[in-house]
Amino acid sequence: MEWIILLILAVAVVVVIGGGLWAKKYFRHEIERAKRIDRANKNQ
């Protein structure tokens, strides 16, 4: 029973890390755009 819980936790960690990398890859341009807008707004 313990190994099932450990397996589920391991899969959850992999999914979270993989999802973060996927989001960073596909939304990098949007993230950079938002950072530029924030910087521009702070300088005003």
Q: Based on the number of CB atoms within 10 Å of its own CB, is 38 exposed (0-12), middle (13-18) or buried (19 or more)?
A: exposed
Q: What tens digit of pLDDT does each residue of 1-44 get?
A: 899 999 999 999 999 999 888 888 888 889 899 999 999 998 77
Q: Domains in the chain: how many in total?
A: 1
Both structure tokens of 6: 């450990």
pLDDT score for 16: 93
pLDDT of residue 38: 92
Tell me the whole-structure pTM to 2 decimals.
0.53
Vertex 9 angle, CA 5 and 13, to 5°: 170
Q: What range does the domain containing 29 cover?
A: 1-44
pLDDT, residue 31, reads 87
Determine the pLDDT at residue 23: 86
Give me the pLDDT at residue 37, please. Answer: 93
Q: What CA–CA distance (Å, rounded) separates 42 from 36? A: 10
